Amino acid sequence: MLNKELLIQQIKTSKDFFDMAEQMKLEVETFYKTFEDSPNKHSAWGHHYFCKEDGSVLEYNPSAPHHHICPICKKVYSSSLLDDVWIYLYRNEAALTILKAAVLYKITDKKKYLDIVVSLASFYILSFEKFELHNKEGLFFDSLDTMKWGCGRIMPQNLNECIFFIRIFTGLEVVKDELPKDFMEFIRKKFCRQFYDLLNPQINKIHNISCWMNSALGVIGLFAGDEKLIHFAFEGQFNINRQLKEGVTEDGFWYEGSIHYNFFTLEGILYLALFAKNYKKEFEELNTVEKMLVSAYNYAFSNQQLPNPNDGWPNINLKSYSYIYSVGTEVFGYESKVGEILAQILASNYERGEVPLSKPYYFHNRLSLEQFILLPDFVYDVEVVPNRTSMDFEKSNYALLKNGKIDVFYKYGHHGPSHAHPDKMTIEVIFGKETLTKDLSNSGYGSIICNQWHRITASHNTVVIDGMNHTSVEPGIKLSFTNSSCDAKVEHVYEDVGFRRKIQLLSDGFYDEFEVKSGRERNYDFIFHVESDLDMNMDTTFETSKNSSLGYTENGYAYFKDIIKLIPLKGSEELILYWKLGGLKLASSMNIIDTEVFLAKSPANPVTDLRTSIILRRKAKHTTYQMEWKILNV
């Protein structure tokens, strides 16, 4: 798992590796010097740790357990709930400290680092059953017999418990030969059974959390040589192979329809694959894991930014998950397709998008701990070749169109309600390296903004009927796909409403045709959010009426601000708006027959960032919206 000689050599020759090792020494020693924890302290769900004003994750300060500040608006929060979330974050840091200390021991031979590993790990492992059973809803239970699904002990839920212990046992694996015999004996004879008893009754469905639970049991089982845990993880009723067979679409995506959850699920599975490789354990569905990594790369825009529908985190790109590709490269090999993809990701010149919770460890947001440990001699001095291949992901209800200038991601269906947003027929668009429109994903689930805006139809690029959210979570139907177009439909977005949308790439833009049919006359709002402001210096063919109203206040409409109604010149059938996007000048034209046209400001993620929203309102049973975007300065 760790090649000591290669890593030491890289630390001697690479400034990043040297500086990262020195920073890790400081962090490990500082954390351990003041380490204090107790089974009497309870952890709480990380998704509560978000600002109520703007949706930003709060700043975690390991030396300030009662002081929680928003990095954007600087508001300081104080509550017992947030103090308990701080404990969850603190314990995550403890797990990472164990892993970092194990690596430092291997490269320095200094026993103080091994002592830190044993001291921290034994505290949590030896006292495991002293921590009270509880779940993220804040409910506490006297025994395993009375607990509800989702319980953890040290962490707020079973999912976080698994992440926590996978990190700890990865650290223990690094120094396994030097661990005290009595500690190893306790793990084999007691902890394995304690951990199994907690998770066994909770693995009861195909889900990303079940994958993490199987992975944690498999990792610990392989480490300890516990055949019961190994058998359960690989061959139990809802084992990891079944999870992959039934939970991954034929296109290679996790069924829940979120690219973050796709990678998040892969993270746990890849650690299991890493341990399986080290212990020569057969992993039946390993090819599926590799396919998922390759499909995720093909799913990205040409600039490696990721389309982002459904639950997840905002502003993510392939570098956000380079640590996962690092583990994948160790599993599948430097010369594998996964290794080739990692080289392309690391060599690309853009800033890594960070995720806020269960954060992986990066040095200066560039060098991951996984790359440091597993791939110290990995070479990525390669020519970056943008992936400009259009992709038809029909079994996942996605299409990605690319022509070298414009990329359009099109999501036309769902695979059930888990982590879904009501966003049938939404699109995301990239012009060159500039984002014209994107999905916001969401802030933490405990944030009011998440449910009042990010998980609402009106925050997406689609049609809203009578101010109400979409109700369907069923798949869509692809009608046709070419390298430059995709046509798809959904029968029942609402009970009696069907959609059909066709996207056609042009040499200098794209054409968007959106058809809506209802069993009766309804109010239709076609909404399109733009990461740009209007260029008011260009000639326009309309007058404006400020202080207008959209008439709705529920389902996200209260978040539209500075609403302006555009009044086109009499007899106009087409409206053209001009925009500046980075160094580009754009024109958007739209059919406005029998249409009310509104412009508004709406929140992005965080909500302090604003977008320009176009709302085209019609009252009809059957109508077709037509919009075309073009680059003017080609």
Task: Please list the rounded mean pLDDT of every run of 10 residues in the chain (634 residues).
Answer: 94 97 98 98 97 93 96 96 98 98 98 98 98 97 96 98 98 98 98 98 97 98 98 98 98 96 98 98 98 98 97 96 98 98 98 93 98 96 96 97 97 95 98 96 92 97 98 97 98 96 97 97 98 76 82 97 90 91 94 95 94 98 98 83
Whole-angstrom distance, CA of residue 413 vs CA of residue 18: 48
Indicate the helix (H) or strand (E) that contains 543. Answer: strand 542-545
- Nearest C-alpha neighbor of 50 from the set 452, 373, 401, 434: 452
**Per-residue pLDDT at 379:** 93
Q: What 3-state DSSP class applies to 152?
A: strand
Report pLDDT for 537. Answer: 67
State the Cα angle at 91 between 85 and 92, rounded to 5°: 90
Edge-to-edge strand order for the sheet containing 434-437? 391-393, 398-402, 406-411, 426-431, 434-437
* Residues 358-377: b if buried by 16+ CB within 10 A, e if exposed: bebbbbeeebbbbbbbbbbe
SS (H, E, C) 1-29: CCCHHHHHHHHHHCHHHHHHHHHHHHHHH
Q: Which CATH class is domain 391-631?
A: mainly beta
What is the spatial distance between Cα 238 and Cα 216, in angstroms, rounded to a whole number?
A: 14
Neighbours of 544 (CB within 10 A): 12
Residue type, 337: K
> 């390991």: which residue's tokens?
62
CA distance 626 to 554: 27
Helices (H), 490-606: none
State residue 492 phi and psi, 5-degree precision.
-135, 80
The Cα 17–Cα 394 span in angstroms is 42
Confidence (pLDDT) at 72: 94
- The single-letter code of the amino acid at 232 is F
pTM above 0.75, yes or no: yes
Domain boundaries, the chain: 391-631
For the chain, how long is the longest CA-to-CA vector?
87
Structure tokens at 395: 């079994």
Query: With contact defined as beta carbons under 8 Å apart, do 407 and 398 qualify?
Result: no
